[in-house]
């Protein structure tokens, strides 16, 4: 009987040890050994776009720095919401991150049935890059500055057509912000992508556009398009002679297109801190800065707290614009 009890006790202890070891193996990685396996970087858009290009450039440098593969996983659809939702619902162990664009901050206002809560289900790591945008017009419009454009639009309400790559996109919201702040009446002409919108503008179908500056620098130099102002808080290195919208007499206007990395909410803070430090380190690389510049991007690292603050303020800002312009994407 005593032998039987001893044996049963031993089996029980062994079982408890096995469960304990199994549980330990399933715990999220600690910052000390992170990363100990490959990392999935979700891009919520199809291959070839701006977000995808940034992801692959950063993933390459992070893979080298960490000695672990950072694998880009394109999950497009729903204007970026499908892939973002996948990331938000992933295990928060530091091995799934998502590279989002400015759209993550205006999606809550655009989509009535967003399957995730941007602020509650995602944890900011760092901003990664910004992309300067510029207001351009065709010469036939006959204006040389933002003030002249606004004066013309007020004199001829509903006659100036602006094109975008689609309803609810960054250019659409940025131009609606301008319209709200100046009181001008413009006609929105959405196209199926930035390329078709650019072609339409060169053909004279539309008069103006808010677009990534790298896409139009050749047309600015050739005289086929005229740059009026860059939309961000500061001038662009790609065209330093072009003033900002705020400098052009519209104080407070700021439209920065940014890209940033996020984890699922619940990811250990120590891992967030380690990922943030490494991302910011690779963003300081002159080689990466050159590769960014070649595609019209500027490195833009910051802290998780600063990035979270940006997202919160942008959510409030774009909700007002979306509601005022009555923009809805189902």
pLDDT at 9 over 50: no
The pLDDT of residue 26: 44
Output the pTM of the full model.
0.85
Domain shared by 165 and 194, yes or no = yes
Q: What is the pLDDT of residue 177?
A: 97
Indicate whether 201 and 152 sit together in one domain. yes
pLDDT value of position 330: 64
> Which CATH number do you get for residue 265?
3.40.190.150
Task: Provide the residue range defining the domain that includes 96.
Answer: 39-131+257-325
**Residue 17 pLDDT greater than 70, yes or no:** no
* Per-residue pLDDT tens over the stretch 150-188: 999 999 999 999 999 999 999 999 999 999 999 999 999
* CATH code, 169: 3.40.190.10
| DSSP per-residue string spanning 125-160 | EEEEEEE-EEEEE-GGG---SHHHHHHHHHHSTT--
- Tens digits of residue pLDDT in 53-63: 999 999 999 99
Q: Are residues 263 and 123 in the same domain?
A: yes
Instruction: Examine residue 250 and state whether it is found in any structural domain, yes or no.
Output: no
Q: What's the whole-number average pLDDT of the chain?
A: 91
Which residues lie closer than 8 Å to 72 by C-beta, 6 or more apart? Answer: 41, 43, 52, 55, 56, 59
Residue 128 CA to residue 256 CA, distance in Å, equals 13
Per residue in 268-287, pLDDT (tens digit) is 999 999 999 999 999 999 99
* Max CA separation in the chain (angstroms): 103
pLDDT score for 202: 96
Contacts of 237 (CB under 8 A, 6+ apart): 293, 298
Q: How many residues does the chain have?
A: 330
């Amino acid at each position: 009987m005593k032998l039987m009890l001893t044996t049963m006790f031993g089996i029980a202890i062994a079982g408890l040890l096995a469960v304990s070891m199994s549980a330990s193996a399933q715990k999220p990685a600690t910052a000390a050994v992170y990363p100990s396996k490959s990392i999935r970087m979700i891009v919520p858009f199809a291959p070839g776009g701006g977000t995808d290009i940034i992801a692959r450039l950063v993933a390459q440098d992070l893979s080298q720095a960490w000695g672990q593969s950072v694998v880009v996983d394109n999950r497009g659809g729903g204007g970026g919401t499908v892939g973002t939702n996948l990331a938000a619902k992933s295990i928060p162990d530091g091995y799934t991150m998502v590279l989002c664009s400015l759209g993550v901050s205006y999606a809550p206002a655009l989509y009535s049935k967003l399957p995730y809560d941007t602020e509650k289900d995602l944890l900011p790591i760092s901003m990664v890059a910004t992309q300067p945008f510029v207001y351009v017009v065709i010469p036939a419009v006959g204006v040389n500055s933002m003030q002249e454009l606004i004066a013309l639009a007020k004199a001829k309400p509903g006659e100036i057509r602006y094109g975008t790559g689609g309803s609810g996109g960054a250019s659409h919201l940025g131009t609606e912000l301008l319209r709200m702040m100046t009181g001008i009446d413009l006609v929105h002409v959405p196209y199926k992508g930035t390329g078709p919108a650019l072609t339409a503008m060169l053909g004279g179908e539309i008069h103006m556009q808010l677009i990534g500056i790298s896409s139009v620098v050749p047309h600015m130099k050739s005289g086929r398009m005229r740059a009026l102002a860059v939309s961000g808080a500061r001038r662009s290195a790609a065209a330093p002679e072009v003033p900002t919208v705020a400098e052009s007499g519209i104080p407070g206007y700021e439209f920065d297109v940014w890209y940033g990395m996020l984890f699922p909410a619940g990811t250990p803070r120590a891992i967030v801190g380690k990922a943030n430090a490494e991302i910011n380190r690779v963003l300081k690389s002159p080689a990466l800065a050159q590769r960014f510049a070649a595609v019209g991007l500027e490195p833009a690292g910051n802290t998780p707290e600063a990035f979270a603050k940006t997202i919160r303020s942008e959510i409030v800002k774009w909700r007002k614009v979306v509601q005022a312009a009555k923009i809805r994407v189902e």
